[in-house]
Amino acid sequence: MKNIPKVFCIGFHKTGTTSLYAALQILGYRVTGTVAHKWTAEQLREDGAAFCIETIKNFDAAEDMPWPHFFRELDEAYPGSKFILTTRQPEKWFTSIDNHFGHQETELNAFAYGRDKARARDNRTHWIETYLAHNQAVRDFFKDRPDDLLDIDITMGDGWAELCPFLGKNEPEAPFPAKNTSAHRTSLAYRIKRKFWLLAGKTPHPERLL
């Protein structure tokens, strides 16, 4: 496949991915988020990588699920791409997961954590272990390619100073976005948009609530 530079955000959900989505947009990237909403876990395992490889043709960058699970395939399909691993302290990560959708048993959850472990609230240890294993797998994969992987913790203040040099971009004057934080989710605009999404029978996605 032709060498087209892409940016893949391969940190798990609730690690600052929505802030990174907004930051990449500020830098001029065309970004896509969660895809294959209606796919089953089995379909994602079978065809998810190929679908993501095809989908990214129309974008510059991608973030959120299920993209992190296909970093090996994406690296092979798009050599020369940049990969960003967003992380945060494991217990705080799980608390955010539990607060946001800990009761849900979605197909994306079944794909990422297993059919019998899809409900976060009942499987804390397994979810944290899966999260940590993914982060380590990414670091091991790129251990000899430090220029291709940026490992950041947005919740601890990482932002433009780390992101822009990695991508070869100048730092914008705008502050680094803080999206989908507790303060953001309690804002009036967020609550109004969320209410309309729920009334429409849809599951609110962070990107559409910004």
**Which CATH number is 7-176 given?**
3.40.50.300
All CATH 3.40.50.300 domain ranges in the chain, comma separated = 7-176
3-state secondary structure of 36: coil
Q: What is the pLDDT of residues 151-181, one digit of tens each?
A: 999 999 999 999 999 999 999 999 999 865 5
Residue 191: phi and psi, rounded to 5, are -65, -35
Give yes or no for residue 209 having a pLDDT over 50: no
State the pLDDT at residue 205. Answer: 46
Q: What is the pLDDT of residues 123-146, one digit of tens each?
A: 999 999 999 999 999 999 999 999
Banded pLDDT at 210 (limits 50, 70, 90): very low
Edge-first strand listing for the sheet containing 149-152: 31-32, 61-62, 7-9, 82-86, 149-152
User: Is-contact 108 43, C-beta < 8 A?
Assistant: no
**Interior CA angle at 185 toward 161 and 175, to 5°?**
25
User: Is-contact 63 31, C-beta < 8 A?
Assistant: yes
DSSP at 68: G
User: Is-contact 62 77, C-beta < 8 A?
Assistant: no
What is the token pair recorded at 65? Answer: 């699920």
From the CB of residue 96, how many other CB atoms can be counted at a distance below 10 Å?
Answer: 20
Give yes or no for residue 192 having a pLDDT over 50: yes
Rounded to the nearest 5 percent, the helix, strand and coil shares of the chain are 55, 10, 40
